[in-house]
Amino acid sequence: MDSDSLDDLDRRIVAALQINPRIPYGALAGALGEVERTVSRRVQRLIDAEALRLTAFVDELRTGLGQAVNIRVRVQPGSVDQVAEALSLRGDTRWVAAVTGDADISCELVADGRAALHRVVAEELPCIAGIRSTRSYPVLRHVKPTTAWHADHLTPEEAARVASTTTAPGQRRPPIDLQPTDQALIGLLVENARYGWVELAEHLGVVPATARRWTERLLAGGAVALRAEIEPELLGYAVEAELWMESAPSAIEPVTAALADHPAVRYCGVVVSGQAVNIHVVLPGMEDLFDFQVNVLGRLPGLVRSEATLVTRAHKRGFVVKT
């Protein structure tokens, strides 16, 4: 499916689902001024085409389910896709993409603790054919996860009408203690964020009211955030870039707060590195990227320097291998 396959209504529907993936189709249609049958049919068409996936993002830093690490990979000439595919097949990689710049591949991996991270970096990645070198940067904070971003295809009034009151994207909360049943529930939400209360209850062996209460507790606590995953290009964003920025330590929080509020910033995080601020932006064209670097980054107090790389092909997003 290419970008011409989605019309304005498709993009408005997806933008609404990015804000609230579990919104009932009737409420979604009402918020957009459309017919419910049309809306549900459009969503199903995108799902059937594997262009859209309704899933969940688990904040491993808050739940203690692992350590996220950004890895920049350099490969032998001609082996970018081969290495990217090998990385994509790993169950612990959340994001894999071919990029421009000093590194050939950008990868985010969630390791099951420090020992597992050492094993991956020191033993497993060097064994992948085609890899020349890797540089790893553990993630300290997801300031703006991708679940807090939505495409700019709705009016402010439409966005407000579809917003969920269950979640507060980007809000900092204390760590959450997972209950024994939570991991099974999280797995179901990752599989399909729109599972109904009855379906969730049947899988978990509880009544629907309990499934709903458990889900709302995870969402409200920030352990899990729901997402509508789709290629940005299908929504009209021809340019996707990853930027690494160095700032004065005292400026990291104000810089990331300012960037997280920008509508082009799809992700913002802080990593263990001299270039501690990492963001992903999506924009209509290269001129927009130029404007972002000059008029947004160029005006941020405390920003020392930045490095931009273009994403040329995404091999994996949100633990889902792209075909």
pLDDT at position 169, please? 46
Lowest mean pLDDT across 17-26, 175-184, 200-209, 243-252: 175-184
Say if residue 172's pLDDT is above 80. Answer: no
Nearest in space to 22 (alpha carbons), one of 226, 291, 220: 226
DSSP category for residue 313: E
Q: Which fold has domain 143-152+235-313?
A: Alpha-Beta Plaits (3.30.70)
Q: What is the mean pLDDT of residues 143-163?
A: 94
Write the pLDDT tens digit of every residue in 201-210. 999 999 999 9
Under 8 Å CB-to-CB from 149, ≥6 apart: which residues? 18, 265, 266, 267
Could you tell me how far CA 84 lies from the centroid of its own chain?
18
pTM exceeding the 0.85 threshold for the entire prediction: yes
Helix (H, G, I), strand (E, B) or coil at 311: strand
Q: What is the mean pLDDT of residues 14-31?
A: 96
Write the pLDDT tens digit of every residue in 262-305. 999 999 999 999 999 999 999 999 999 999 999 999 999 999 99
- d(C-alpha 269, C-alpha 36), whole Å: 37
Write the pLDDT tens digit of every residue in 34-71. 999 999 999 999 999 999 999 998 888 888 889 999 99
Parse the chain into domains and list their residue ranges. 3-57+158-229, 61-139, 143-152+235-313
Going by their DSSP bridges, the two strands 303-317 and 320-321 should be labelled as antiparallel
Containing 319, the helix (H) or strand (E) segment is none
Is residue 316 a contact partner of residue 95, using CB atoms and an 8 Å limit? yes
pLDDT at position 173, please? 64
Q: Facing residues of 281 across strands?
A: 241, 265
- d(C-alpha 132, C-alpha 77), whole Å: 10
Write the pLDDT tens digit of every residue in 79-127. 999 999 999 999 999 999 999 999 999 999 999 999 999 999 999 999 9
Give CATH for domain 61-139.
3.30.70.920
Lowest mean pLDDT across 11-25, 31-45, 55-69, 164-178: 164-178
Say if residue 157's pLDDT is above 70. Answer: yes
Q: Do domains 61-139 and 143-152+235-313 have the same CATH topology?
A: yes
At residue 178 the predicted structure's pLDDT band, cuts being 50, 70 and 90, is confident
Write the pLDDT tens digit of every residue in 183-228. 899 999 999 999 999 999 999 999 999 999 999 999 988 889 999 9
pLDDT at position 62, please? 81
Say if residue 166's pLDDT is above 80. Answer: no
Nearest in space to 18 (alpha carbons), one of 185, 226, 256: 226
Token pair of 78, please? 């001609």
Is residue 66 a contact partner of residue 60, using CB atoms and an 8 Å limit? yes
DSSP symbols for 201-244? HHHHTS-HHHHHHHHHHHHHHTSEEEEEE--GGGGT--EEEEEE
